[in-house]
Amino acid sequence: MNTSKKKGRYGEGTVFWDKRRKRWIARVSAGARPDGTRDVRVAEGLTPSDAQDKLNGLKAEVAAGVDGGTTYTLAEACEAWLAYGLKRPDDHPTKVKYRSLVNANIVPLLGRARLKKLRAEDIDHWLAQIAKDHATSTVKVLLGLLRRIIRFAEARGKVMRNVAELVDPPDGQAGRPSKSMTIEQAHAVLKVSRGSWLHGYIALSVFTGVRTEEARPLRWRNTHLNPVAGQLCTCGERHRESVAPHVEVWRSVRTKGDTKTPKSRRTIALPRQVVTILSAVRAAAEVDAEDSGRALRAEHYVFASEAATVRDAANVRRDLRKAVKAAGLEGTWTPREFRHTFVSLMAYAGVREELIADLVGHQRTSTTRTVYRHQLRPVITAGAEALDDLFDSGQLGALGIKNPGSDLRIRHSMSSKLGSEKATRDNLVACFAW
């Protein structure tokens, strides 16, 4: 009787006892490497079943086209993704931001881990550490970056699965909620910023609600301060018919210059005072251009830097901090809060939510109402005023309901202020002492 073991087929691998190592060895051939040498993958086990499990793992890697190396670290994966996974120049703001986040939060804590041995528990522990010092939004961004990095390595055969996809982000620290300025605060910041480029930037942001990413790349060709038929407009063209002064919010500093959403691409009319301020900005830009021996062109930026490029976001924040301090405002303020201020002032003026949403480019009025509108009135008086009107008309009195405050009814001063449905941004601008 022939008891010899049948030879396995090529590629099935084998398990055998190694006397020298005193280990069970699992070995499988993965064919030839690009340089022509054989790609033989080996793993060790303490028992035959352990070695067989290792063999099955090696065969699965070969079938999936995964690299057989085990020393590839997450830090190497991060560097490869930053170099080849982001199709942007090294000086692109997004790439600079991602590189900073990766090098500050992922590489120091997880970089030494071998990618093939990275476990979901390791990522859970890392996220728990990150959540102690970062806001929830930042924790989510970092986990998203880690998933993209491992997905990039997975596509290049460095690992079989993306363990970061199996983990959910924990809650981080509560971030500072956005807020809006009162009329007095906005007026104070505008007043102290006179004479600087920031004056026009604040005026445009407060009274149109444009995003900071939309205001910074605004060009003169999209700014129409005197669109009168037959006259040369600030956009560099002559309009066929007269229209209201306006800006075309069609671009941003995002990738490919697109706005945040399709609805964010909009054309906004300008209040008279903003037209006056931007006209002064235009005149100053013409003088600077003449002094430098060049002409001001339509493609030049309205709020250009000294190098005639798009002003950097950090530059805007720095100058705003100085203006806020000079105006005597308490707390920290950021450029995005001018947009919140615009929405709140519009709501204060009684403008419908649907119109506000159109002006700021929101797809849903719920975003306008719950995220951007900050209550400026100390007391919501509409309900009480409506009931008082019913008492005065006798409708509730006819039902036998008495009005205990009818003799001493409180007349709110709000009715003398901006509260009409027809209020416009021009009404708001009129509230300021220019």
Active site residues: 211, 260, 339, 362, 372
Length of the chain: 434
